[in-house]
Amino acid sequence: MDRYGPFSRLNISHTELVRLIVIVSLTISCVVITAVSLSANIGTIYAQLFYFPILYATYFYPRRGLFLAGICAVVYEILAYVYLFPDTGILIYTTGQAVLFICIAAVVAHFTEKVNASEARYRSIFETSLLGIVLFDQNSFAIRMTNHHLSQMLGYTPEEFSVMTLPQLFVSKEEQRKFFEYLGSSEDVNNFETQFFTRNQEPLWVNLSWRRVGENQVSGSVIDINQRKCAEQTADENYTRYQQVTEGSPTCIIITRDQKIVYTNPAFHHFSGYDAAELAGKDLLPLIHNDDKADFRNISAHPDQQNGKTDKVEYRFLSKNGEIRLAAAFFTPISQKGETSLLINLVDITEKEQLKERIMQDNERRRDIMSTVAHELRTPLQPIMGYLNLLTEDPTAYGVTDETRVILDRCAKSVDRERQIINQMLELSVLDAGKIPLSYSTFSAEGMIQSIIDAGGYETKADLTVDVPKNLLFDADAGKISTVIESMLSNAVNYSKPPRKIRISYQSNASDKMHRLAIQDNGIGITNTQLDEIFEPFQMPDSGTISKKYDRIGLSLSIAKKYVQMHGGYISVDSIVNLGSTFTIHLPKTRSMGESV
């Protein structure tokens, strides 16, 4: 970096100051030598001495060099006239020399300005280029010059570059060896991709090109391609991960283009029985069951229609060995290698459907068994009930004592309890089969609740609070809703702890679409793990010991749930262990379209 020194109001660099001193010194020396030579009448006047300051000044300062040439010509002519007048021949010669000073200075200034303009353009391009530019020696590889962009790119200052060699920038020794090999071939090289070290010793991907501009000088351009190479590496890594995911995915993946298969993963090979070579370039439709081909062709041609659906689309496929397999298909338009393609994901649900069918068959058999068992159990109960009633109604005629009658009453109650259980089993099996219709009517909710309380004698068993509007009407199947409320109330009373406190409340407002009838108790409560089980048949909200204590078998809640679901509603439960439970019946205020009346 050149230094500047203040002179009056001008900032003159040290280099310019030295040049001015040299020009002035040469000029004064030429004038003095010429004056001494003329005054001493030494002989030949060496006018060529004036060319030293003139050419020097004109080279560095073309326009100012012309002024200096003019001054030197005038001084030279004055000295000649002072010392040589009236020698006409000599005076004409010196005048010609003076004119020649100016002419030569003009020629030199003209070519110097052209050279400077060309150099200025070159330097402007060199400094403002968007490429990094480096000049280096072919033999020593020493860096002679770099532009500002290369300094910004790599972080080195021009001074640091000046003491470095180009091979020092290479990250890889192998790339450095290739560079030496290419440079030794004496050929210009373009687009040599390699990595350079930055000043922080971080690798930077660059595109290096060079050509020889002199016998030993080489000019190179450096382009920063780090972002592109990093993006390519990221893309390669993503593609590798994508391959790993697709190859190892348990989901079948198919990519088609123009209805032709371009990719299938191993999961689909296992699913279909075909390998990749057998499927590549083939049409997928021959693998679809004939009954599903039309729909599959339509969806695959317009996948956007399927994307808006929430339900999966299921198709039957024909495997290589002729087996029919079922899969849920999902279609997604994608762009692969710049071309529109279709990604098809298949989930094999063959075994799931087979399992579902087996479960349905098992449930059907279970209902049949339950119905048969219930009928078989109910048949012998009829005569038992008849004989017990006969003995208890007329004990004197049959010689039954009071002690024996107490025992017979207990037996009658147990048999009646058994009959109720059998009836619930029959009812549940019929409900599972979906064979019970609804008979809608409009009735008073408060009146129904009060009738249930009176019939069951619940007011004598617990402290009951009923908070239900007297004008509240339900539009539902009165018999089935009565069964639901009676089951909820019975459970609340039986599972509450003394003093039993039961509250029945209506919690809906006019804007709600559902009636909400809540039955709250202070019973034993239900754990979170049991909440999902209490509505299943033969499941109790407590342990087996407590179930026996309360004489429950867990069918009433299952029947209540199914009755409410038949109306389009549901039952929710909130419970805290040892504090109590709240069962809420959610019942639609308006009947569903198409329901029976």
**Cis check: omega of the bond before 158, within 30 degrees of 0:** no
Q: Is residue 373 located within the same domain as residue 470?
A: no
- Choose among 426, 427, 433, 437: nearest CA to 566: 437
Q: Is residue 594 part of a domain?
A: no
Angle at CA 314, nearest 5°, toward 309 and 318? Answer: 150
- Choose among 535, 540, 537, 506: nearest CA to 524: 540
Could you give the number of structural domains in the chain?
A: 5
Q: Is residue 108 part of a domain?
A: yes
Q: What is the CATH number of the domain that holds 483?
A: 3.30.565.10
Q: Is residue 253 located within the same domain as residue 383?
A: no
Strand pairing category for 463-467 and 501-506: parallel
Report d(CA 195, CA 175) in Å as an integer.
8
pLDDT confidence of residue 174: 92
Q: Is residue 238 part of a domain?
A: no
Domain boundary among 127, 154, 175: 127
Q: What are phi and psi of 509, to 5 degrees?
A: -120, 180
Q: Is residue 89 located within the same domain as residue 183?
A: no
Q: What is residue 46's DSSP assignment?
A: -
Residue-number span of the structural domain to which 274 is assigned: 249-348
Q: Is residue 120 located within the same domain as residue 177?
A: no
Domain boundary among 95, 127, 159: 127
Q: Is residue 547 located within the same domain as residue 464?
A: yes
Q: Is residue 241 part of a domain?
A: no
pTM, two decimal places: 0.39
Q: Is residue 596 part of a domain?
A: no
Q: Is residue 458 located within the same domain as residue 545?
A: yes
114 - beta bridge partners? none
586 - beta bridge partners? 516, 570
Report d(CA 91, CA 158) in Å as an integer.
55
Helix (H, G, I), strand (E, B) or coil at 437: coil
Q: Is residue 197 part of a domain?
A: yes
Q: Is residue 154 located within the same domain as residue 202?
A: yes
Domain boundary among 127, 151, 177: 127
> One digit per residue, pLDDT tens: the chain, 597 residues?
455 455 545 566 677 888 888 888 888 888 888 888 877 776 555 677 888 888 888 888 888 888 888 888 888 888 888 877 777 877 788 888 888 888 888 888 888 877 766 666 656 656 666 788 888 988 888 998 888 888 889 999 988 998 999 999 999 999 999 988 888 877 788 889 999 999 999 999 999 998 887 778 888 899 999 888 888 888 777 777 777 777 778 888 898 888 889 889 998 988 899 998 899 889 988 899 888 888 888 887 776 655 444 345 888 899 988 888 888 888 888 887 678 888 888 888 887 766 666 766 666 666 666 666 666 666 676 777 777 777 777 777 777 787 887 887 778 777 776 666 666 666 666 666 555 778 899 999 999 999 989 888 888 888 999 999 999 999 998 888 988 898 888 888 888 888 889 999 999 888 889 999 999 998 888 877 777 677 766 544 444 444 444 344 456 777 788 888 888 899 999 988 888 889 999 999 988 655 554
Per the CB < 8 A criterion, the answer to whether 328 and 314 are in contact is yes
Q: Is residue 218 located within the same domain as residue 299?
A: no
Q: Is residue 58 located within the same domain as residue 135?
A: no
Q: What is the CATH number of the domain that holds 387?
A: 1.10.287.130
Q: What is the CATH number of the domain that holds 168?
A: 3.30.450.20
Angle at CA 480, nearest 5°, toward 477 and 485? Answer: 115
Per the CB < 8 A criterion, the answer to whether 434 and 464 are in contact is no
Q: Is residue 573 part of a domain?
A: yes
Q: Is residue 336 located within the same domain as residue 253?
A: yes
- Amino acid at residue number 489: L
Per the CB < 8 A criterion, the answer to whether 582 and 574 are in contact is yes
CA dihedral 544, 545, 550, 553 (to 10 degrees): 20
Please state, in angstroms and as integers, the Cα–Cα distance from residue 437 to each residue in 69, 440, 557, 587, 595, following that order: 125, 10, 19, 17, 9
Q: Is residue 459 located within the same domain as residue 557?
A: yes
**Cis check: omega of the bond before 86, within 30 degrees of 0:** yes
Per the CB < 8 A criterion, the answer to whether 133 and 124 are in contact is no
Q: Is residue 186 located within the same domain as residue 209?
A: yes
Q: Is residue 428 part of a domain?
A: yes
